Chains A and B, each alone.
Chain A
Amino acid sequence: MVTLNDYLIVSGILFAIGFAGVLLRRNVIIIFMALELMLNAANLSLIGFARYNVHDRLPDYNGQVLAFFIITVAAAEVTVGLAIIVALFRARQTTHVEDINTLKF
């Protein structure tokens, strides 16, 4: 029997993996991928909750709508983000976070 908890935990672990990616990887593009993982983890929880909250023997579609929006927004974010990263690469020839530190203190 699969319970809500299972979904939540799996989602939590995925979120954590994403977060780990943000913290550990040096390449901005990979970091960006990891961020997508985090968003998707949130989506998993969301769909889980939506399925758990049953009204009139139907899942709560509000959650699904939110998930839909999240996916859409994430896609848009990815395009803009990648455009910025490309522009940065063109200017600096690097996508490593350690090289992006002229602004500090």
Chain B
Amino acid sequence: MTMPPVLLELFVLALGIVMLVLESFAETRDRKVFAIIGIVGLALVFLFLQVSAPGPSGMVSYVMDWPAIFFKKVSVLTTIVVLIMSIDYADTITRFLPGRSPQSGLGEFFALPVLTCAGMMWMSSAIDFILIFVSLELVTISFYVLVAFMRRNAASLEAGVKYLILSALSTGFTVYGITWIYGVTQQTNLTQIQQVLPSVPLDNQPGLLFGALLVLVGLGFKIAAAPFQFWVPDVYQGAPTPITAFLSVGSKAVGFIVLLRVVLSFQSLPAVGDRLISAITFLAAVTLIYGNLAALPQTNFKRLLAYSSVGHAGYLLIAVAAIGARDSGLAVVVYLAAYLLMTLLSFLILVIVSTHSQGDDIVHFNGLGKRSPFLAFGLLVAMMSLAGVPLTAGFLGKFLVFKVAFETRQFFLIALGILTVGCGFYFYLKVVKAMYWQPAPPNVTAIPISRLSLVAMWVMVVLIFALGIFPQFATGLLPSTSP
């Protein structure tokens, strides 16, 4: 494709603006059409991405390499699924969003994710701290709005405030960290930083490490790594469910691409790079423990997924900590691809079920196996994959993570991984248990599913198995094995 890559983001941006404009002219029309427009537009973008190859971008702060394309795809795909979910969730949104017409505000709810998607796509390509910072903030600020979107819903607002304050705090640290990195290296561009790092004098290395660690803190916040994860359960629970899905997949994914790029460029100065790796190891350990252990007693499915999101960040961090291994980048990528599928699938079904049964506790899934076997099956597949049962995508991710960890001799993390996988089986199967073991509450009916969601669900189920059974799909994601 000869189209300048940067145009893709602009296209997405235009798409979002078009949706906004349409919103303002649509008086009584069904706003769900906007979401369909967004989905179609993003699907086009996805197809473009599918056929575009990496190449020079002609810009210093923006690259178009394989990871960039991959993470752009992740962003687009996530947004598509989020939009599909949003359609199902629209009724809940409008309930908490009074306006002139019954659907007022929905257009923004569909358009903002598209704009956020543009931010994520920029972030996937960013190799300059300035661009990283602004696109990160674009994503963050959209999320402020989206999380607090249901402004009649106290929980949504509370989540919004918590996210706002903590995210701004982490931004403060990130900025301070970037400042120090810039101060020591005199550069904001990662490629140039990588080049000048070996010549950083010994006295400046602590400052460099200080900056890098603070950046790590900020990114750790985005990817929900302990001990910077405290916002996650509360915000996930309070936010509108599609946005929770968006947060847990999109925000995390772009956090990881930036983290990978940063960590990788710091490898050129082992004194700092290795310390950064040990910091990540520490984060990985704490994250694994916290995410998986604290999930054990959960009874709310959304919070459970929040803790699970933290737990998976732990596994991903293992892969990042094993950056020295050949397939480390691949491990992150594959794990994220798997994580995307299984988490979005879980959220999709959560949206459908919770819309129907007015609640998102695990008990609301009781007897789902009997009430709606296909939904239950979809969720079963998602849970299996999250727990890491072989022949699903989640297993492939865990497999690669353990592989790279073994290659770099991260035995402590492996031991923790073993323990936490066991915990994971427990809390994921709790949902399975509710669906299949428990009797359904009396006088419930089968849950209606929109055709779009059904298609999306089956596509993801098939993809989960496809990725698990044919790993070449996954390895094909990233031909050059490291970003």
Q: Which A residues contact B (CB, under 8 angstroms)?
A: 15, 18-19, 22, 28, 31-32, 35, 38-39, 41-43, 45-46, 48-50, 52-53, 60, 62-63, 65-66, 69-70, 73, 76-77, 80-81, 84-85, 87-88, 90-92, 100-105
Contacts and interface: CB of A to CB of B under 8 A. Distances in A.
Contact of A22 (B151, B152, B165, B182): B165
A88 B158 contact: yes
Interface in B134-169: 134, 137, 140-141, 144-145, 148, 151-152, 154-155, 157-162, 164-165, 168-169
A90 B154 CA distance: 10
Given A15-B176, A53-B186, A63-B182, A84 B155 contact: no
Nearest to B157: A88
A84 to B, nearest CB: 5
B162 to A, nearest CB: 7
A13 to B, nearest CB: 13
Given A87-B148, A88-B158, A91-B157, A62 B182 contact: yes
Contacts of A91: 151-152, 154, 157
Contact of A35 (B172, B233, B237, B303): B172
B158 A102 contact: yes
B169 A104 contact: no
Contacts of A62: 130, 182, 187-188
B161 A70 contact: no
Contact of A45 (B152, B160, B180): B180
Nearest to B185: A53
Contacts of B133: 66, 69-70, 73
Contacts of A43: 175
Interchain residue pairs A-B with the least CB separation, the first 10 = A49-B183, A38-B172, A103-B234, A42-B175, A53-B186, A42-B176, A88-B157, A87-B151, A35-B168, A73-B137
B179 interface: yes
Contacts of A19: 172
A73 B151 contact: no
A43 B158 CA distance: 30
Nearest to A50: B182
B378 interface: no
B129 interface: yes
Contacts of A22: 165, 169
Given A66-B129, A92-B157, A103-B237, A31 B165 contact: yes
Contacts of A50: 182
Contacts of B238: 103
Contacts of A100: 158, 161-162
B178 interface: yes
Interface string B254-277: 000000000000000000000000
Contacts of B165: 22, 28, 31-32, 35
Most buried by B among A31, A65, A100: A100
B79 interface: no
B228 to A, nearest CB: 14
Contacts of A73: 133-134, 137, 141
Nearest to A54: B186
B154 A102 contact: yes
Contacts of A18: 172
A104 B140 CA distance: 22
Contacts of B175: 39, 42-43, 46, 70
Given A77-B140, A87-B157, 7 more contacts: A31-B165, A35-B168, A62-B130, A63-B182, A69-B130, A77-B168, A103-B234
B176 A38 contact: yes
B130 A65 contact: yes
Contacts of B152: 91
Contacts of A90: 151
B155 to A, nearest CB: 6
Contacts of A45: 176, 179-180, 183
Contacts of B148: 84, 87-88
Interface string B188-207: 10000000000000000000
Contacts of A102: 154-155, 158
Contacts of B129: 66
Contacts of A92: 154, 157
Contact of B155 (A39, A49, A87, A103): A103
Given A39-B175, A77-B137, A66 B130 contact: yes
B392 interface: no
Nearest to A46: B179
A80 B176 contact: no
Contacts of A70: 133, 175
Contacts of A76: 137, 141
Contacts of A69: 130, 133-134
A71 to B, nearest CB: 11
B171 interface: yes
Nearest to A4: B183
B182 A32 contact: no
Contacts of B141: 73, 76-77, 80
Nearest to B163: A84
Contacts of B237: 103
B194 to A, nearest CB: 16
Contacts of A31: 165
A85 B168 CA distance: 14
